[in-house]
Amino acid sequence: MHLFTSEGIVIHKLKYLESDLIVTIFSITEGKLKAIVKGGVNSRKRFPGAFEVGNIGEFGFTAKNPYQLMYINHAKVNNYLIDLKKDYDKIIMLFYILGITDAMLIEHQSHPKLFEFLVYTIQFLENNKALNQIRLFYEFHLLKETGLLPAIEKCESCGRPFAGNRVNFLQQTGKLVCESCIPHNTGTFAIPDNLLLLIKAVNNNSLNVDEFLKVDVPHAMFDITTRLMSNYIDRPLKIWQMIDTIQ
Ligand SMILES: [Zn+2]
């Protein structure tokens, strides 16, 4: 019997058969894991409220062998997000952040750094109203961790360095290009300098979170991050429509 315990975050839950749950946990040691909770739907005594999405705690996993679906036989939750759940927009943002995490991570690949950022992000969300900043903060880190955050050093069309030049996002192709490479009649968005600096800081692990929470985030920034994620996920996510309802 394979057995281990890990700190984890509940990122998804689904009712399975009559009374079981299938939960997806982002664990610090083993990455994203799916597991069955026997009788999880009604077990208020054994696991009181343990499998609400966004919960952070300690989860015990068992499996007969490494190739089988696991079971959770122990759960101890540290946060119940009581304040967050009083705010509809924050709930949507929480679902969104957990949803992109679920979509972007592959099972059994550990991402301990991203795990810490997700814990951070959920805490920010509980104590802060800067929803767009929190969203962008987490998206940048998720993209960095999955190797998709661009370094933004060279124009993706002519290959010349961006130094001192504006960086433009082409809405049609998703390319980041210099001023002279913008084709005629194309929708573009020039990334503001302070956000360029933040992308660089995330890339260099030198981000100051407090500074981040103060910047303005134009909505067009999310066209860029959504494009970067959707290239990778390859299917539209319902949460992308959902998140637009709170902007
Ligand atoms: Zn160029």
Note the CATH number of domain 1-80: 2.40.50.140
CA distance 247 to 173: 24
Mean pLDDT: which of 83-92, 110-119, 178-187 is highest?
110-119
Reported as a single tens digit per residue, the pLDDT across 187-241 is 999 999 999 999 999 999 988 888 888 899 999 999 999 999 998 887 888 888 8
Q: How far is CA 195 from the centre of its chain?
A: 19
Q: How far is the CA of 131 from the centre of ligand 1 (A)?
A: 33
Q: How far is the CA of 72 from the centre of ligand 1 (A)?
A: 53
Q: How far is the CA of 187 from the centre of ligand 1 (A)?
A: 16
Q: Domain 82-152+191-247: state its class.
A: mainly alpha
Q: How far is the CA of 190 from the centre of ligand 1 (A)?
A: 13
Average per-residue pLDDT in the chain?
Answer: 91
Q: How far is the CA of 172 from the centre of ligand 1 (A)?
A: 16
For 86, 125, 126, 150, 171, the CA distances from 130, given in Å and listed in that order, are 16, 8, 11, 24, 26
Mean pLDDT, rounded, for 147-154: 94
Closest CA to 70 of 43, 41, 37: 37
| All structural domains of the chain with their residue ranges | 1-80, 82-152+191-247
Mean pLDDT, rounded, for 115-137: 94
CA distance 75 to 7: 10
Q: How far is the CA of 174 from the centre of ligand 1 (A)?
A: 14
Q: What are phi and psi of 56, to 5 degrees?
A: -115, 135
Which residues share a beta bridge with 188? 170
